[in-house]
Amino acid sequence: MGKVFVDGWNVVQTLGEGTYGEVQLVVNSSTNEAVAVKYLDTRKEASAANNIQKEIFIHRRLKHEHIIKYYGHRDESPIHYIFLEYAPGGELFDRIEPDVGMPLPKAQKYFFQIIKGVEYLHSIGITHRDLKPENILLDKNDNVKISDFGLATVFRHNGKERILNNRCGTMPYVAPEIFSRKYKAEPADIWSCGILLVVMLAGELPWNEATADCREFLLWRASDFSITPWTKIDNLALSLLRKILCYSPSKRYAIKEIKEHLWCKKFLTHKGTVKWSGDTMFFKRLCSDLEPNSVFREESGTKMSYSQPVQSLRDSDDENDLPGNISTLTTGVSFSQPVDPDNMILASQFSASQMVSKASLPIGTRLTRFCIKSKPETVFLELKNAFEKLGHCWKQCSPGLVTVTTQDRRKMQLVFKVNLITMSEKILVDFRRSRGDGIEFKRHFLKIKELLSEIIDKQPLIGVPCSAVFDI
């Protein structure tokens, strides 16, 4: 029997784990609408209640085309449930090829949209503080949706800005001033946007941390661009990154200046054609001025500070924004049968803070999956051999589900799950990151895929029906 929040809404699958709980997929058995529910337990840590309250308070205020939509919250203390929009395009990191990146037009498009979303957040006094590919989702039209506001905070209220002092974020994306514990919100987010751009253009992080202990960062500060990822990035993009990843927050480009940079004024088409915005003389002047080419989180032990009072928490004010009868999710608990097996294949494509319409999600959206024409027992054995050859720890958590634990190149923990699902005469092997860096996760996926290359089915996944979830 599958748990549901109300009649007709079925808990299909656990999607991931977090600091205070987990994310579960909930599907409406009648309409096929589905919600990724953030299941948060205030008993996990002493500060959990304040942090969860803060996330809800902030996210319910946000309404922008490039911000994941908040639908509602239900409080069953000590458990809280947050219901959010689904972006069927998946996570940004899934579009990034390790050590390669993505096509320039795509990187430019996503970067513009991320900047627009961050500009909106800053305009209402909110800072995200954990911008990274795993927190950038894509909707059905391939447009950016910024998600996960667990570390967000209010930094400006009634025109008065406060200096922040909580060290938080994901290490490679954290601005250098954050390590000093006193920093301004906007330049710190802009720095993270710059790291995002590097990852999209080059498929790798520039450094492990922006501190004096990191050789790669010191080379960057010394304007030494002789190593990767800088050797992969063209001069125009590099000139922009030098302004965004400027060590001094006061000299770092603001969003307005980023939007006026030549790289942002030059629009690239998918065929490589260049289009310009503005008069040609303006661009000639800009060209002549170009510079030459040459998830930790520390708990402070204090209460989270607010620049305005915490309002009472309630659901979305606009019921017209709610898909189907999702408003019923905010009350009641009942039990029901799981949805049809087709929804199980969808479940493997969802990540934290997402909602889905079954009809809108093609089966080939995600890249971290493949099919094998073989018996399930054989597939499981081949996976086991691959894990052991790579030195990965693995554990069969439930029928058809394996959890793999390893370390990435930065010696940080990386955890991902592997689902085995029957699809007609094939077995779909679906990989989903649980913890750790998304690009590192893809590197490990590609290594496993290479080891199994001789038995992987080369046919595309799109259009292959799902018959059932296979129990190993």
- Which residue among 130, 139, 315, 430 is the active-site one? 130
Nearest to 133 by CA among 97, 85, 160: 97
130 annotated active-site: yes
Positions marked active-site: 130
